[in-house]
Amino acid sequence: MGVTKTEKFTEHQNQVARMAKALAHPARIAILEYIFSIDSCVCGDIVNEIGLAQPTISQHLKELKTVGLIKGNVEGTSVCYCINYDNWLLMKNMLSTILDLDTKSIDSCC
Amino acid sequence: MGVTKTEKFTEHQNQVARMAKALAHPARIAILEYIFSIDSCVCGDIVNEIGLAQPTISQHLKELKTVGLIKGNVEGTSVCYCINYDNWLLMKNMLSTILDLDTKSIDSCC
DNA sequence: TTTTTATATCGTAATTTTACGATTAATATT
DNA sequence: AATATTAATCGTAAAATTACGATATAAAAA
């Protein structure tokens, strides 16, 4: 198999998992941290910043773009990536629905 | 390939990604939500709650246990799982280091 | 227009993930 | 002791992920 049985779960559970998955690789964490760190658009220098091959970075950027966490603007021969703030907030809200479940629970066993 | 180049990233980036990965499957989200919902230990009924085979659930539980988000106590023939609150908080702090990067940034382009 | 530069896409290999039947292990019940 | 119950582990198939060389694409520079 290797195929997630999406239909067994709620739309919400699938979405939360999908967001978490976007963050589930150190290269994508590094990319996001870098975009945030320069506080503006990023162009090709992500490849230099992170020591992975250009097609690999391009692939990770695509994944982040697909879930909507970043957006890219073509600027001449290079592409300028930046955070999609609206979607970033949606993602945070999405994730907080599980992350903050602890605040409503009492550690009653184990 | 198919192997993540862990050595190219910081320990922190790898840890954040590792935590996100634990949440990156709807079955694990469902399991966590369920454990929180009954506010106490869960035993085998997770298998009934979620429509996946017993070995599959067992495998997901193992992953959650490996990253430390849950712990299991043997109680007779069944095993009682519950949230590891200390590690849950550590995980939240870990994730918030990227999730909250937006609060320090100004949307300056795109 | 040719060449350079920057990025995306294609193809593919290695690995990991997901899923589950079959089996094992460990305890409880009869 | 024999049987039933519950969960873990084994083995394995299918699919997804990660990585990258080669190539394509598109715009800028020469």
DSSP symbol at A10? -
Q: How far is the CA of B109 from the C1' of C25 (A)?
A: 60
Residues B14 and B62 sit within 8 Å (Cβ to Cβ): no
- Rounded distance, CA A3 to CA A24, Å? 17
Q: pTM value? A: 0.94
Is A85 within 8 Å of B95 when comparing Cβ atoms?
Answer: no
> Which of A:60-99 have CB within 8 Å of B?
71, 73, 80, 82-83, 85, 88-89, 91-92, 95, 98-99
Q: Give one DSSP letter per residue of A31-83, joined into a string.
A: HHHHHHHTTS-B-TTHHHHS-S-HHHHHHHHHHHHHTTSEEEEEETTEEEEEE
Name the closest residue (CA) to the C1' of nucleotide D26: A77
For residue B42, the 8-state DSSP code is B
Per-residue pLDDT for B20 more than 80? yes
Q: Do A50 and A30 form a contact (C-beta atoms < 8 A)?
A: yes
Distance from CA of B61 to the nearest CA of A (A): 16
- Estimate the crossing angle of helix A26-37 against helix A54-66, to 10 degrees: 80
Question: Mutation test of the interface with chain A: which of B48, B80, B107, choosing the one with the most A Cβ atoms within 10 A?
Answer: B107
Give B33-56 pLDDT, tens digit per residue.
999 998 667 767 899 999 999 999
Nearest to A9 among B27, B40, B91 (CB): B27
pLDDT tens digits along A4-60: 989 999 999 999 999 999 999 999 999 999 999 986 667 678 999 999 999 999 999
- pLDDT, residue A104, reads 76
* Structure-block tokens of residue A48: 């230099």
**A106, closest residue in chain B (CA to CA):** B39
Structure-block tokens of residue B13: 């980036």
Q: Is B80 exposed, middle or buried (0-12, 13-18, 19+ CB in 10 A)?
A: middle
C-alpha to C-alpha distance for B109 and B78, rounded to whole angstroms: 55
β B78-83/B70-75 pair status: antiparallel
Question: Which residues in chain B touch residue A36, judged by CB atoms under 8 angstroms apart?
Answer: 101-102, 104-105
Instruction: Show the tokens assigned to A101.
Output: 């479940």
Which nucleotide has the least CA–C1' distance to A81? C7
Judge whether A32 and A83 are in contact, CB under 8 Å: yes
Point out the residue among A8, A101, A104 whose CB comes nearest to the CB of B50: A8
Higher pLDDT, A50 or A1: A50
